[in-house]
Amino acid sequence: MENRIDTVIVDDDNPSIRVLADRLKAYPEVRVVATAGNGEEGWNTVLKHKPDLLFLDVELSDTSGLEFLSSLDKHIDWDMKVVFYTSYEKYLLPALRLQAFDYLLKPVSDSELALIMDRFCLLRDEARRMVAPPSMPAPAPSPMQSILITTITNDKLIVRAENIGFFKYDSERKLWKVILNNLQHFILKHQTTADTILKYAPEFIQIHKTYIININYLYMISENNCTLLPPFNKVSELRVSKVYKKKLLDRFYDL
């Protein structure tokens, strides 16, 4: 099955494995091929199954997930994305420094898992050089405006407005994320607010208390749902709330 995503879960907590495996059933292309309860078992499991996606607990009974990945890294000769997941946000920075694909907090949030899976599929599709349908035009050119963004790790990024697809607010962690058109995303510093983001560039418009989009990527508004142009056309959670809908429609019609 060409679109199948072979997945391995390494976690020393069986209930957590069951919860995550159950949540992953919402994605028909995902197949959890194996699970492991400690680092030694996980090592053999990963090398045996060579999964596309690895969910790795940060605190294992016999090692840390960070040490596990560092030691395993030189043996990985296939394309595998690693998602660290843990109950403790303190591991965020070390995970990012190890260039993990993403980071998921326990208990698993459906919306956060959906964002991770959408991003994984978008990256996979890009790797296969899938082209956008000819009926979907390219986004309108925007001014070559550069924005200075500060991440949660205090890194300074200079990003063009035209390279930003949307921003998403994590209400549990009270943090905004920026999602770029190369499918990378960065967690912004705690002091970042919706008003801060809206001042970055005129093409950013709020559609919901948890979403701000680049209107130049907006392809269609259907009832209360937004569809964006590639590479964001598979993001299915961009809902428009009533308080923002009129302003969004007015801006969209003016394009």
Split at pLDDT 50, 70, 90, the class of 126 is: low
- How many angstroms separate the CA atoms of 245 and 177, rounded? 22
pLDDT higher than threshold 50 for residue 16: yes
pLDDT at 120: 85
For residue 28, cis peptide bond before it (omega within 30 degrees of 0): no
Please provide the average confidence, as pLDDT, over all residues in the chain.
83
Split at pLDDT 50, 70, 90, the class of 156 is: confident
Instruction: Taking residues 108-127, report their average pLDDT.
Output: 81
Instruction: Taking residues 112-122, report their average pLDDT.
Output: 84
Instruction: Say which DSSP state 75 is in.
Output: G
Q: Which residue has the tokens 């209360």?
A: 224
Residue 174 φ/ψ region, left for φ over 0, alpha for ψ in the -120 to 50 degree band, beta for the rest: left
Tokens of 56: 């790795």
pLDDT at 46: 95
- How many angstroms separate the CA atoms of 177 and 121, rounded? 18
Half-sphere exposure (Cβ direction) of 215: Cα atoms closer than 13 Å: 20
Which H/E stretch holds residue 56? strand 53-57
Instruction: Taking residues 78-86, report their average pLDDT.
Output: 86
pLDDT at 137: 54
DSSP for 106-124 reads SSPPHHHHHHHHHHHHHHH
Nearest one of 201, 9, 10, 230 to 123, comparing CA atoms: 230
27-36 tens-digit pLDDT: 999 999 999 9
Split at pLDDT 50, 70, 90, the class of 131 is: very low
Half-sphere exposure (Cβ direction) of 94: Cα atoms closer than 13 Å: 16
